[in-house]
C-alpha cells in the first residue's frame, strides 16, 4: 500500500510540474523570425570566427538585425552570400574568394653537415611550450635571428579547421585548395604574417621584415632588403617599398613577373618567369614569360 501511495504521489508531482512547465512555455514564449533558421541553413556551420562573430549562429542573428553585412562568411563564399541576400530580400555584391598568404620565405634547408644553406637563421634553440606566442616572448623576440619571421611552432595550424596550413622546414605553408579564407590562422599569428590574397597569384613577395637590408641579411638568406629594384622595373607601379619592405598592390599587378627577374635575393617567388631553356617559354618584350 505504501508503495502505491508513493507512486501516486510521484506521478501527481510529475503531472503538476509538467503542466506548470507547459503553461510557462506558453506565457514566456518569444516568437522568432523564421528567416533566422533559413539564414543558419545557408551558413557552413564551421564556426571558424572569420566573419568576426563567435559562430555561424551569432553571425546569422547579426545579419538579421542589420548589424553585419552579407558576404562576411569566407567559408561559405559567394554562394552563401547570394542565398542569404535572397532571404533578406536584398542584393549582395559578388564575393571574391581569398586564401591566406604567409609572408615569410624563410624555409630552412641544410647541407649534409647540418649547416644552413637557405632560409631564416636560428640564434638559439627553443625547448618550451610549442606555441608561437610563447616562443616570441623568450630570449628577445624568440629563437629566430629575424624578429619578423615565422616562428614555425604551429599556432596557425591549430587554429585552422580545414587542415589547410602546415609547417614545413620551419615555416607555415598554405594549401590553397583547402583554404577557405576564414583567416583564423591570421588571428593566431603573433607576428601578423598572414594576409588574405586572391588564390593562384603568380607573383608573391612573401616577406614581412621591416629591418634595414644589412640586418635582414644577417637574419635570413632570402629576406627583402628593400633595394627597390622590383619597384623600378614594375610597369604598372604596383610595387612600393615602405619601411625597407617591398609590397605588391594586387589591384594594379598584372602578374607579368618582371620584378622576379631583378630581385637579388630571389625572394619574389611563384612567378611566371621561367628559364628560356623551357620550350613552353617565349620571350616577351625582353624577359622570359611563360605562356
First to last CA, the chain: 94
263 within 8 A of 226, measured Cβ to Cβ? no
Mind listing the pLDDT tens digit for each residue in 63-72? 999 999 999 9
184 within 8 A of 50, measured Cβ to Cβ? yes
Mind listing the pLDDT tens digit for each residue in 177-198? 999 999 999 999 999 999 998 8
Class of domain 97-200: alpha beta
Interatomic CA distance for residues 116 and 268, integer angstroms: 21
User: In this structure, what C-alpha cell is assigned to residue 212?
Assistant: 634595414
User: pLDDT-based confidence at 49, cuts 50/70/90?
Assistant: confident
The predicted pLDDT at position 174 comes to 95
CATH of domain 202-291: 3.30.70.20
Q: Which residues contact 2 (CB under 8 A, 6 or more apart)?
A: none
182 within 8 A of 93, measured Cβ to Cβ? no
User: pLDDT-based confidence at 30, cuts 50/70/90?
Assistant: low
Class of domain 34-88: mainly alpha
pLDDT > 60? residue 280: no
User: pLDDT-based confidence at 284, cuts 50/70/90?
Assistant: very low
pLDDT > 90? residue 151: yes
More confident residue, 5 or 250: 250
Q: Which residue has the cell 631564416?
A: 120
Q: Which residues contact 207 (CB under 8 A, 6 or more apart)?
A: 103, 104, 105, 148, 222, 223, 224, 245, 246, 267
Same fold, 97-200 and 202-291: yes
Mind listing the pLDDT tens digit for each residue in 86-144? 999 998 888 888 899 999 999 999 988 888 889 999 988 888 889 999 999 887 888 99
Q: What is the DSSP letter of 235?
A: T
The predicted pLDDT at position 131 comes to 93
Of 61-65, 84-88, 282-286, the least confident: 282-286
Please tell me whether residue 268 adopts helix, strand or coil conformation.
strand
Torsion angles phi and psi, residue 116, rounded to 5: -65, 125
The alpha carbon of residue 266 and the mean position of all alpha carbons in its chain are separated, in whole angstroms, by: 24
User: pLDDT-based confidence at 24, cuts 50/70/90?
Assistant: confident
Q: Which residue has the cell 624568440?
A: 142
pTM, full prediction: 0.75
Interatomic CA distance for residues 258 and 290, integer angstroms: 12
Mean pLDDT of the chain: 86
The alpha carbon of residue 229 and the mean position of all alpha carbons in its chain are separated, in whole angstroms, by: 29
Burial classification of residue 282, based on how many CB atoms lie within 10 Å of its CB (0-12 exposed, 13-18 middle, 19 or more buried): exposed
119 within 8 A of 150, measured Cβ to Cβ? no
The predicted pLDDT at position 22 comes to 77
Q: Residue ranges of the domains in the chain?
A: 34-88, 97-200, 202-291
The predicted pLDDT at position 244 comes to 95
The predicted pLDDT at position 278 comes to 42
Interatomic CA distance for residues 130 and 193, integer angstroms: 18
Cα dihedral 274, 178, 194, 159 sign: negative
Name the CA radius of gyration of the chain, rounded: 27
Amino acid at each position: 500500500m505504501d508503495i502505491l501511495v508513493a507512486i501516486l504521489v510521484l506521478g501527481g508531482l510529475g503531472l503538476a510540474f509538467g503542466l506548470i512547465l507547459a503553461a510557462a512555455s506558453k506565457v514566456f514564449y518569444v516568437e522568432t523570425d523564421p528567416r533566422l533558421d533559413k539564414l543558419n541553413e545557408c551558413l557552413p556551420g564551421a564556426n571558424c570566427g572569420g566573419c568576426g562573430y563567435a559562430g555561424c549562429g551569432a553571425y546569422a542573428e547579426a545579419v538579421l538585425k542589420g548589424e553585419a553585412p552579407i558576404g562576411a562568411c569566407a567559408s561559405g563564399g559567394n554562394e552563401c552570400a547570394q542565398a542569404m541576400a535572397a532571404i533578406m530580400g536584398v542584393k549582395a555584391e559578388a564575393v571574391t574568394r581569398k586564401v591566406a598568404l604567409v609572408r615569410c620565405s624563410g624555409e630552412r634547408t641544410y647541407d649534409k653537415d647540418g649547416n644552413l644553406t637557405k632560409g631564416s637563421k636560428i640564434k638559439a634553440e627553443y625547448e618550451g611550450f610549442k606555441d608561437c606566442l610563447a616562443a616570441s616572448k623568450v630570449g628577445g623576440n624568440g629563437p629566430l635571428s629575424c624578429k619578423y619571421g615565422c616562428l614555425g611552432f604551429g599556432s596557425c595550424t591549430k587554429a585552422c579547421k580545414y587542415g589547410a596550413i602546415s609547417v614545413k622546414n620551419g615555416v607555415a605553408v598554405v594549401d590553397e585548395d583547402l583554404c577557405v579564407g576564414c583567416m583564423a590562422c591570421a588571428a593566431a599569428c603573433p607576428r601578423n604574417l598572414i594576409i588574405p590574397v586572391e588564390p593562384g597569384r603568380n607573383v608573391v613577395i612573401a616577406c614581412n621584415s621591416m629591418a634595414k637590408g644589412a640586418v635582414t641579411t644577417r637574419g635570413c638568406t632570402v629576406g627583402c632588403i628593400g633595394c627597390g629594384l622590383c619597384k623600378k622595373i614594375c610597369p604598372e607601379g604596383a610595387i612600393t617599398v615602405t619601411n625597407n619592405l617591398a609590397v605588391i598592390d594586387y589591384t594594379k599587378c598584372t602578374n607579368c613577373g618582371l620584378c622576379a627577374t631583378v630581385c637579388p635575393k630571389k625572394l619574389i617567388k611563384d612567378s611566371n618567369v621561367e628559364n628560356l631553356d623551357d620550350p613552353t617559354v617565349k620571350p616577351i618584350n625582353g624577359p622570359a614569360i611563360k605562356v
